[in-house]
Amino acid sequence: MNENMDCCGDFEENKYVSDKKFAVENPARMCQPMGALQAIMGLKNAMPLIHGSQGCATYMRFQLIRHFREPIEVSSSALNEKTVIYGGENNLLNALKNVSEKQDPEIICIMSSCLTETIGDDIEGIISKFEDANIGMKLPELVSVSTPSFSGSHIEGYDKAVFELVRHLGRPNVPNNKINLIMGNLSPGDVSEVKKLMEDLNVSSIILTDTSLNLDAPLEEDTLDLHKYGTTIKEIEDTPNSKATISLSKHVDSAGKFLEKNFDVKCFSENLPVGIKNTDKFVKNICEAMNIEVPKKVERDRGRLCDVLVDAHSYNYRKKVAIFGDPDMVIGIANFVSEMGMLPEVLCIGMKSERFLDDVKKLSKEINYNPIILEDSDLFDLENVLDDHKVDILFGNAYGASIADKNNIPLYRVGFPIFDRIGAQRISLLGYTGGIKFVDEVTNMIIDYYYDFEGYKLDEEEEIIFEDNPIKEKNV
């Protein structure tokens, strides 16, 4: 029994409750439209339109550009003080007209905001008026997503966007022998890792949605054009005809449940394929759905990940970690670092989630260690907890840098946003090959912070003697 378990192994004993009831300081989540926008960024020839003030679109574009270092186009209905009183119908009608005529997208995704949700604009009704006023004209597909900023988080926003796309566009037809993959708020690098794994499995898939090329693009002259890559409308239309749907993140499975209920497409909602155990489960679900065997290439990559875990174990063993961010990413990394021999000391998420708590409870029983749980918390709460609970490494986005500096520990940057480093769009830890990269990077970070390197020493006769392990732990 370890120091983080009570005599009864009671999981609830380690659930942190903040005394701060009046505000959120340095939140560990973002708003619903931000999540929906990230989903739309993975569509081909799509234009996101935020029905709200110009500031909403500007803020989201600013956050996305400094994270992905790519040009981001976000249109807005640009509401002002007058439209708040009299309604924003005319602004949205004009916005739909301007975007349709000037940019000619295949699809416009209209997201609400806290402002339009508060004043009660009927976006579906306004869209119907626009379509009725343009009968006989070629119009883009118009899909609305209700994303009030004052409730939920970016995770719900992503989930709603994918659900509305599938609900609006899905068309049952001939079986396509494919797998639908709902990605969640993953980096383009992780989407690429999943696509590579699917190729190794020789399984065709429909990615909902595919940001791998749009948000990690080459330098081109037509950077302000609509995205030329990503998931197409035809692919979304084809989702009801797939063999199964796999939601890589448990919190973004609404579209999968919809397809299962209405079109009998089996839905798997599992943990992110991070580390050995969860990637095994992901591969198993695909192989069972497609009735295939695991290819030798995939088995070899799994063996390579097992090998690097063994290689790195002596440096990572019993190192304590704190993780903050999205629930699926936090529990995924917690499972993975446990496989690396580390101890998940503190887990912080910015929303309430029973599924997350159930997963943490399961993990704590497996490793005989109870993490401290910060549910529906912010980074102010995390900072307070770390004042009393020492950890060796922090996992999270760039907003954790000041906490890491204060505690003199390294920050492994993962999640969104990351604005103090370049390459955020290429961060990957999913699958076996992404896991290899993750273990290498984390272990080298541990070595840099906690070990001295001495290549050789001289014995009494001044003969050079190479040590078996030239890396010595520092007294930190």
Reported confidence tier of residue 154, pLDDT bands at 50, 70, 90: very high
pLDDT at 282: 97
Q: Higher pLDDT residue, 6 or 290?
A: 290
Q: Is position 189 within any domain?
A: yes
What is the token pair recorded at 184?
A: 């969640």
- 163/304 same-domain check: no
d(Cα 448, Cα 411) in Å, to the nearest integer?
12
**How many separate domains does the chain show?**
2
Q: Is position 394 within any domain?
A: yes
- 162/211 same-domain check: yes
Reported confidence tier of residue 248, pLDDT bands at 50, 70, 90: very high
d(Cα 270, Cα 247) in Å, to the nearest integer?
7
- 258/301 same-domain check: no
Tell whether the model's pLDDT for residue 457 goes beyond 50.
no
Q: Is position 23 within any domain?
A: no
The string of DSSP letters for 18-49 reads -S--S--SSBSS--HHHHHHHHHTTBTTEEEE
**Nearest alpha-carbon partner for 212 in 238, 185, 230:** 230
Q: Which domain holds residue 409?
A: 11-17+297-453
Tell whether the model's pLDDT for residue 3 goes beyond 60.
no
Reported confidence tier of residue 468, pLDDT bands at 50, 70, 90: low
For residue 206, give the amino acid letter.
I
pLDDT tens per residue across span 313-339:
999 999 999 999 999 999 999 999 999
* Domain CATH code at residue 401: 3.40.50.1980
For helices 327-339 and 354-367, what crossing angle results, to 10°?
10
Reported confidence tier of residue 152, pLDDT bands at 50, 70, 90: confident
Q: Higher pLDDT residue, 11 or 74?
A: 74
- 340/261 same-domain check: no
- 141/246 same-domain check: yes
- 178/36 same-domain check: yes
Tell whether the model's pLDDT for residue 194 goes beyond 90.
yes
pLDDT at 62: 92
Q: Is position 3 within any domain?
A: no
Q: Is position 472 within any domain?
A: no
Reported confidence tier of residue 143, pLDDT bands at 50, 70, 90: very high
pLDDT tens per residue across span 19-62:
766 678 888 899 999 999 999 999 999 999 999 998 889 999 99
Q: Is position 38 within any domain?
A: yes
